Amino acid sequence: MRIRFWATGLVATMGALLAACGGGSASGSGTTVNWWTWDDKQAAAYQQCASAFEKANPGTTVKITQYNVDDYFTKLTAGFVAGTAPDAFQNSVQYFQAYASQHQLLPLDDLIARDGFDLGKYSVGVDSWKFTDGKQYALPLDWATAGLYYSTDAITKAGYTPADVAKLTWNPDDGGTFGAMAAHLTVDRNGVRGDQPGFDKDAVATYGVGQLASRDFIGQTTWSSFAPTTGWRFGDKQQWPTKVNYDDPRFVKTAAWIRSLTDRGFSPKIGTFTTGGQATISDTDLLGSGKVAMETAGSWSAATFAKLPGVQVGLAPTVLGPSGKRAALSNSNGDTIWAGTKNPDLTWKWVSYLGSAECQTAASASGSFFPSIPAAMDSAASAMRGQGVDLSVFTTMLKDGTLYPAAVYGNGAALEEAERPLFEAYFGHQRDDDVFAEMAEKSEQVLAKQ
């Protein structure tokens, strides 16, 4: 599942306190393992695993606690400081560097070697949890990526077929067939399409494509499936980069094309669809209400899209780029063990069970997440197919090399805080191409502190 990027002051300001707290008392008793997650759906899904684990280990209790992502990492950090953190918890690579460098995570290498635990069974995520010391600090829990969702009614009325969407091409010069389709799918309030004379870009009823102009510094469900098809890569290194390549001409051209979509009225500007309280209207609601005809959105929304009442939603892979290949960013969360746990062996037994094919198969049958073990993923896809949800687009991208792993970087919260206003300024026309050199420079400054 995706996590949103939050700048939490506790991570940055309590480093000295954290380093001194590694020996605090864990929250679990001798026979209780406490595990935290930010995802309510995964909390419910993994309860099946907790029950099976307790049955196999009489007298043991697994306590699953879920907190909203807005509060989750703040509560974790406070737990580190107070010595009351959970024995194990779902973790994001955004906070990996901070927690590992503050010695709050237990290295798993000795436990993996002792039990002969096979890391080779995972299709994604293993390398994302290796720190700069070369040690493994988590087992992959899940994976997520983006796909291209569309209203079948909208494309049919526009004269397209699902096969047309499945083979869309893109380039940053003229937008390829994707750009042409985005224009034709856009309709103003007078019924005029975006590629027809008289189109009113200031009175759009349906945007051809959802928002691609992003505040998000990795563009997870926006530009991340476009820029890498040009050969661009996020950092100067895949693991622990010292710079983000925002000043690469290929990224600059991609961003300029995305901004041109909003300028021409084919894609909404940042902030177009917000409620009075500034909460963003969801991707599924936008497509379901006809405000957008197609959009890139997360794999975690596939079941919700498929079950929208009164709307038939199609799903296609991401666009074919100038090289003739696709690119889809893949994130993987992991299960980590707190270094202060009083029950390292029992906690490892639980975490290694979470990372087993048996547990991942049972928990993922609900379709609430994509498991990191291929056999479990196939089982999840089969279970969802029985509910009318076809995940073959994602399983194919997993197997054909379309997916590329998110870079493992340090100081994610600080990086987000530094880059977010610059992205907003560029896509809002307060800044032009000069902003990208500043963005790259800021990334170097932030990453130098990791």
Q: Are residues 358 and 242 in the same domain?
A: no
Q: Are residues 227 and 256 in the same domain?
A: yes
Q: Residue-wise pLDDT tens for the chain (450 aa)?
A: 444 333 333 344 334 333 333 333 345 557 999 999 999 989 999 999 999 999 999 999 999 999 999 899 999 999 999 999 999 999 998 889 889 999 999 999 999 999 999 999 998 889 999 999 999 999 999 999 999 999 999 999 999 999 999 999 999 999 999 999 999 999 999 999 999 999 999 999 999 999 999 888 999 899 999 999 999 999 999 889 999 999 999 999 999 999 999 999 999 999 898 755 455 788 899 999 999 999 999 998 898 899 899 999 999 999 999 989 999 999 899 999 999 999 999 999 999 999 999 999 999 987 778 999 988 998 889 888 888 889 999 999 988 889 998 888 888 889 999 999 999 999 999 999 999 999 999 999 999 986
Task: Express the helix, strand and coil content of the chain in percent, nearest 5 each.
Answer: 40, 15, 45
Query: Is the torsion defined by CA of 13, 19, 20, 25 positive or negative?
Result: positive
Q: Is residue 398 part of a domain?
A: no
Q: Is residue 396 part of a domain?
A: no
Q: Are residues 362 and 281 in the same domain?
A: no
Cα(392)–Cα(326) distance, integer angstroms: 16
Q: Are residues 20 and 138 in the same domain?
A: yes
Q: Is residue 244 part of a domain?
A: yes
Q: Is residue 21 part of a domain?
A: yes
User: For 153-174, what is the HEC assignment?
Assistant: HHHHHCCCCHHHHHCCECCCCC
Q: Are residues 174 and 321 in the same domain?
A: yes
CA atoms within 13 A on the CB side of 429: 6
225 exposed, middle or buried (CB, 10 Å; 0-12, 13-18, 19+)?
A: buried
- What lies within 8 Å, CB to CB, of 98 at 6+ separation is 11, 15, 410, 411, 413
Q: Are residues 324 and 343 in the same domain?
A: no
Q: Among 242, 213, 227, 223, which Cα is nearest to 443's?
A: 242
Q: Is residue 236 part of a domain?
A: yes
Bridge-based pairing of strands 88-91 and 32-37 is parallel
Q: Which range marks the domain in which residue 14 is found?
A: 9-143+335-389
333 exposed, middle or buried (CB, 10 Å; 0-12, 13-18, 19+)?
A: buried
Q: Are residues 274 and 176 in the same domain?
A: yes
197 exposed, middle or buried (CB, 10 Å; 0-12, 13-18, 19+)?
A: exposed
Q: Is residue 67 part of a domain?
A: yes
Q: Are residues 176 and 202 in the same domain?
A: yes
In which residue are the tokens 């469900």 written? 221
Q: Are residues 367 and 417 in the same domain?
A: no
Determine contact, residues 262/292, Cβ cutoff 8 Å.
no
Determine contact, residues 63/28, Cβ cutoff 8 Å.
yes
Q: Are residues 93 and 150 in the same domain?
A: no
Q: Are residues 185 and 296 in the same domain?
A: yes
Q: pTM above 0.85?
A: yes
Q: Is residue 405 part of a domain?
A: no
Q: Are residues 113 and 232 in the same domain?
A: no
Angle at 220 between CA 9 and CA 97, to 5 degrees: 40
- What lies within 8 Å, CB to CB, of 90 at 6+ separation is 35, 36, 37, 38, 39, 42, 141, 333, 334, 335
Which CATH number do you get for residue 171? 3.40.190.10
The pLDDT of residue 8 is: 36
Number of domains observed in the structure of the chain: 2
Q: Is residue 399 part of a domain?
A: no
Query: What letters, b where the CB count within 10 A reaches 16 and e where it falls short, cover 291-309?
Result: bbbbbbbbbbbbbbbbebe
DSSP bridge partners of 151: 313
